[in-house]
Chain A
Amino acid sequence: QVQLVQSGAEVKKSGASVKVSCKASGYTFTGYYFHWVRQAPGQGLEWMGRINPNSGGADYAQNFQGRVTLTRDKSIGTAYMELSGLRSDDTAVYFCARGVSGYDWDYFDYWGQGTLVTVSS
């Protein structure tokens, strides 16, 4: 069965970086994009970016340009999201999700369990 398992909770200081992993299993790793979505406490979902696990090419939301880097390691079927220059408003749960796309439709059919990143000053 398809599973996305994320790394554990992190506590970071302002200005630091955090790297969250998302290990995929149960399907061909290179067959689907990985998307990253975050959710601040009590807030809605916010799309951060996506990575093509085959080529490594990525697209980033404008709000995160220059601060977020998406990578992957095909050899171990794992995608990563690194966010730098952490601020208190980066405190959120970060999700990875598998993306399925067609000509004019898309969806995220499997999600990781989420990783809480807490940024303290």
Chain B
Amino acid sequence: SSELTQDPAVSVALGQTVRITCQGDSLRRYYASWYQQKPGQAPVLVIYGKNNRPSGIPDRFSGSNSGNTTSLTITGAQAEDEADYYCDSRDSSGNHWVFGGGTKLTVL
């Protein structure tokens, strides 16, 4: 399968912890990357590989992997974390990429 499945929407209270998940067969073979996208802006990479954060991404963002599921965890969510989050990985062919459908995170 070349699909990545995400919950369409998740909410979290300010300062609490939230986990956003992504499922797909290709995740058994390839690590996913995670992108944050705010309205009208290009996506921004927040997590890649096993659990790596690019420079400038706060350490409240972390990633984990188990079987066919990858997760993005925000520990102590802030108002500015409200955004759409997308996972992405190669598909089973190894030469194509696929995005999850995206998760809209609301910080209450």
* Contact surface of A with B, Cβ cutoff 8 Å: 35, 37, 44-47, 50, 59, 61-62, 95, 97, 102, 104-109, 111-114
* Contact surface of B with A, Cβ cutoff 8 Å: 29-31, 33, 35, 37, 42-45, 48-50, 54, 84, 86, 88-90, 95-102
A111-B46 Cα distance, complex, nearest whole Å: 13
Chain A residues with Cβ below 8 Å from B30 are 104-106
B35/A105 in contact, CB under 8 A: no
A78-B98 Cα distance, complex, nearest whole Å: 24
- Residue of A46, A107, A114 with most chain B CB atoms under a 10 A cut-off: A107
A47/B29 in contact, CB under 8 A: no
**A44-B99, A44-B102, A108-B45 known, 5 other contacts, Cβ within 8 Å:** A35-B97, A45-B99, A105-B33, A106-B97, A107-B48
